[in-house]
Amino acid sequence: MKRKQIFLAAFTVVAFTVGCKPTSDGTANPAEPAAESAAAKLDKAKQETKEAVQATQDYAYAQKTEFVETMRAQLADLNKEMEELAAKVESSTGAAKEEAAAKLQVLREKTAGLNQKLEEVGNATESTWDEVKAGFKKAYEETKKSINEARQWLSEKIAP
């Protein structure tokens, strides 16, 4: 029986020793290589992200002509919507017509500004591209929102 206990104890020590392998630098802390590996992975991910952002910016500038053409089409759609609103205003009468005409004039001024911004987008250089494009997109969204608000206001004030 004593031999079994000694054998079992020796087997346990051997199994424990084999199971706990030291790292390549002689330490038994497996977290250190993982930390180094994580830091290396983080640096690699940062570099890849930086390269992807740069590639996206270059691609976006390379697609400037397509962007301008798409925005021209969307601007034409906004102008069409404004003409529909103008037709509703013309068919109305009274004080609502005067107030609606004033709102329509503001919308026309916004779209004129939007046309000017689109020209700036077309003339943008690679260094000014992001700023000019963002300015146009913001102005476009504001104009579109104003047209939708005007449409809503007209539907409440002027009977179809």
**pLDDT higher than threshold 70 for residue 53:** no
Gap between the Cα atoms of 57 and 46, Å rounded: 17
Q: Which helix (H) or strand (E) holds 45?
A: helix 31-62
The pLDDT of residue 93: 79
pLDDT in tens, 6-21: 545 555 544 555 455 5
SS3 at position 126: coil
Gap between the Cα atoms of 42 and 89, Å rounded: 60
Q: In a 10 Å sphere around its CB, with 0-12 CB exposed, 13-18 middle and 19+ buried, how is residue 10 labelled?
A: exposed
**pLDDT higher than threshold 80 for residue 108:** yes
**Closest by alpha carbon to 104, among 159, 137, 153, 142?**
153
**pLDDT higher than threshold 60 for residue 28:** no
The pLDDT of residue 14: 47
**pLDDT higher than threshold 50 for residue 33:** yes
Query: Is this structure's pTM higher than 0.85?
Result: no
Half-sphere exposure of 52 (CA within 13 A, CB side): 6
State CA 22 to chain mean position distance.
47
SS3 at position 92: coil
Half-sphere exposure of 155 (CA within 13 A, CB side): 7
The pLDDT of residue 118: 92
pLDDT band at 131 (very low <50, low <70, confident <90, very high): very high
pLDDT band at 94 (very low <50, low <70, confident <90, very high): confident
SS3 at position 53: helix
